[in-house]
Amino acid sequence: MPGPGEQLLEQLLSSAHAATAMELPALVQRFADAAGLDRVDVYLVDLQQRSLVPLADGPPVLGVDTSVAGSAYRAHALRVEELPQGRITTWLPLIDGAERLGVIGATAPAIDGALLRRCRMLASLLAMVITSKRSSSDSFARRTRSETMQLPAEMLRAFLPPRTIGNSRVISTAVLEPAYEIGGDVFDHSLTRSTLHLAILDAMGHNLASGLTTAVAMAGCRNARRAEAPLPELVDNIQQALAQWLPEQFCTGIFAQLGLAEGVLRWCNCGHPPPLLIRDHRVLDRALERQAQPPMGTPALLADVRWEVHEEALQPGDRVLMYTDGVTELRTGGGAEFGLERFTDSIIRATAAGESAPEALRQLIHSILDRQENQLRDDATLLLLEWCPPESG
Assess whether 112 and 198 both reside in one domain. no
Assess whether 162 and 74 both reside in one domain. no
Mean pLDDT over 303-322 rounds to 93
Assess whether 186 and 132 both reside in one domain. no
pLDDT-wise least confident of 1-5, 91-95, 288-292: 1-5
Mean pLDDT over 49-77 rounds to 96
Does residue 242 have a pLDDT over 90? Answer: yes
Assess whether 130 and 162 both reside in one domain. no
Q: Percentage of residues in the chain with pLDDT exceeding 90? A: 66
Residue 376 lies in a domain: yes
Assess whether 160 and 258 both reside in one domain. yes
pLDDT per residue as tens digits for the range 70-108: 999 999 999 999 998 889 999 999 999 999 999 999 999
Assess whether 122 and 190 both reside in one domain. no
Does residue 393 have a pLDDT over 60? Answer: no
**What's the pLDDT band for 8 if we cut at 50, 70, 90?**
confident
Assess whether 138 and 216 both reside in one domain. no
Assess whether 208 and 105 both reside in one domain. no
Residue 10 lies in a domain: yes
Assess whether 119 and 159 both reside in one domain. no
User: To the nearest 5 percent, what fractions of the chain are helix, strand and coil?
Assistant: 40, 25, 35
Assess whether 139 and 193 both reside in one domain. no
Q: Give the end of a domain, one of 113, 129, 144.
A: 144
- Give residue 234's Cα distance to chain centre: 23
What's the length of the chain?
A: 393
Assess whether 178 and 92 both reside in one domain. no
Does residue 1 have a pLDDT over 50? Answer: no
Residue 99 lies in a domain: yes
Q: HEC profile for 198-246?
A: EEEEEECCCCHHHHHHHHHHHHHHHHHHHCCCCHHHHHHHHHHHHHHHC
State which residues form the domain around 340. 151-387
Q: What is the pLDDT of residue 304?
A: 78
Residue 393 lies in a domain: no
Strands (DSSP E) contained in the chain are 39-45, 51-54, 62-63, 79-82, 88-96, 99-108, 164-166, 170-177, 185-191, 195-203, 250-259, 264-270, 276-279, 282-284, 296-297, 310-313, 319-323, 380-387
Residue 239 lies in a domain: yes
pLDDT per residue as tens digits for the range 174-190: 999 988 998 889 999 99
Assess whether 131 and 169 both reside in one domain. no
For position 62, which CATH number holds? 3.30.450.40
Q: What is the pLDDT of residue 335?
A: 59
Residue 306 lies in a domain: yes
Does residue 29 have a pLDDT over 60? Answer: yes
Q: What is the pLDDT of residue 333?
A: 58
What would the DSSP string read from start to end of 74-133?
Answer: HHTS-EEEE-STT-EEEEEEEEETTEEEEEEEEEES---HHHHHHHHHHHHHHHHHHHHH
Dihedral sign, Cα of residue 114, residue 89, residue 102, residue 76: negative
For position 227, which CATH number holds? 3.60.40.10
Q: How many domains is the chain partitioned into structurally?
A: 2
Q: For residues 27 and 15, give the distance between their C-alpha atoms in angstroms, rounded to a whole number.
A: 8
